[in-house]
């Protein structure tokens, strides 16, 4: 058993950075032990992500293709109709998805949009899928309304460590993000909260992000780690790519400091090798998005993911070994 198995909320920044400094094989070994304490290492949660409202966001997040501050070629669209979203979710479930995530390019949720978003959540929930949304900042009454609609998870990332944050975005504060997470937790909704690496930050900044997550009042239930997908026209689009082994280290440290979280290997898989992804699963990642697109950026094709799962002996979370449920089928809808 690893000495890191039990959850802690008293990590110091130096302790988290010291984990990054461990020899690579020792770090991955310790993370794998922690993973096995809380999860079946052969299981990976399968999620789909749909942009229900694209572009035109007033935030200036330097990594984002959907910001109205930058010329990235992404056109703004209106909020989708409820029936269209539910049809996409049904197709995703038929293709093997277990969680359906809906994202809207908003700074914050407006009360006028709350009824339609709530109807989307209720409709997707009725299909038997876990529900997750990311809608920007929330007020407490909005979080409660989403809970009442059947929401399981709310995604609201910290993006990076607090010391690097203003290099990434200046239109909302770190405290704004923490306040939304508080509203979500208080409403009884599970949190999905992580960040992005490869934006020019230092290892100390990556440790700062994971320290912030590990010292929240409750660890994130789902913890996505995104590797920056460069976007032409966005200020951080020309950042130096993160070394693949450093990314694996980040996954391993996330697993150790938040041992019971579902650690999601999120954006960036399109430019990762099969070997890098395999190391991430070894280091404790146990969730991923499937489908050829994540909001506005590329994701591996379904056939590639199916082959990777077969070669690594992985299966969807909750599926018994030997079952032959549909895996990574292309949805019927475009």
Q: Where in the sequence numbering do the catalytic residues fall?
A: 57, 61, 64, 101, 132, 192, 264
What lies within 8 Å, CB to CB, of 324 at 6+ separation is none
Distances (CA, A) of 209 to 21, 34, 196, 202, 231: 16, 20, 9, 11, 22
Q: To which residue do tokens 């430019």 refer?
A: 271
Give the number of other Cβ atoms within 10 Å of residue 204's Cβ.
Answer: 16
Rounded Cα distance between 131 and 124, Å, is 7
Rounded Cα distance between 248 and 263, Å, is 12
The answer to whether the CB of 315 falls within 8 A of the CB of 72 is no
Q: Choose among 204, 202, 203, 242: nearest CA to 226.
A: 242
Question: Across the strands, what pairs with 131?
Answer: 100
Distances (CA, A) of 283 to 239, 254, 318: 25, 9, 20
At 324, list the tokens.
């032959």
User: In the chain, count of helices (H) and strands (E)?
Assistant: 11, 12
What lies within 8 Å, CB to CB, of 226 at 6+ separation is 157, 194, 195, 196, 197, 266, 267, 268
Beta pairing class for 287-289 and 43-53:
parallel
CA dihedral of residues 123, 125, 129, 132 (deg, nearest 10): 100
């Amino acid at each position: 058993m690893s000495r890191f198995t039990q959850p802690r909320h008293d990590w110091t920044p130096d302790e988290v950075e010291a984990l990054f400094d461990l020899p690579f094989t020792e770090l991955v070994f310790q993370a794998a032990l922690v993973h096995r304490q809380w999860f079946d290492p052969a299981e990976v949660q399968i999620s789909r992500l749909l942009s229900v409202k694209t572009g035109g966001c007033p935030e200036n997040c330097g990594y984002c293709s959907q910001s109205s501050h930058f010329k990235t070629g992404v056109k703004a669209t209106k909020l989708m109709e409820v029936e269209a979203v539910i049809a996409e979710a049904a197709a995703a479930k038929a293709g093997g998805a277990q969680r359906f995530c809906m994202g809207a390019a908003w700074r914050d949720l407006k009360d006028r949009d709350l009824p339609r978003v709530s109807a989307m959540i209720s409709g997707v929930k009725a299909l038997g899928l876990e529900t997750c949304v990311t809608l920007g900042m929330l007020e407490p009454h909005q979080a409660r309304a989403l809970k009442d609609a059947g929401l399981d998870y709310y995604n609201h990332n910290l993006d990076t460590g607090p010391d690097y944050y203003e290099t990434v975005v200046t239109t909302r504060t770190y405290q704004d993000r923490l306040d939304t997470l508080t509203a979500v937790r208080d409403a009884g909704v599970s949190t999905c909260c992580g960040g992005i690496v490869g934006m020019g930050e230092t290892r100390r900044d990556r440790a700062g992000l994971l320290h912030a997550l590990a010292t929240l009042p409750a660890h994130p239930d789902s913890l996505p780690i995104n590797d920056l997908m460069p976007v032409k026209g966005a200020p951080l689009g020309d950042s130096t790519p993160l070394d693949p082994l450093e990314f694996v280290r980040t996954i391993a440290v996330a697993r150790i400091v938040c041992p019971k979280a579902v650690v999601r290997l999120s954006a960036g898989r399109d430019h990762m090798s099969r070997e890098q992804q395999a190391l991430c699963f070894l280091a404790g990642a146990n969730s991923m998005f499937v489908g050829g697109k994540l909001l506005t950026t590329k994701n591996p094709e379904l056939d590639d993911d199916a082959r990777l799962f077969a070669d690594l002996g992985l299966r969807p979370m909750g599926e018994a070994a030997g079952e032959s449920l549909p895996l990574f089928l292309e949805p019927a809808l475009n």
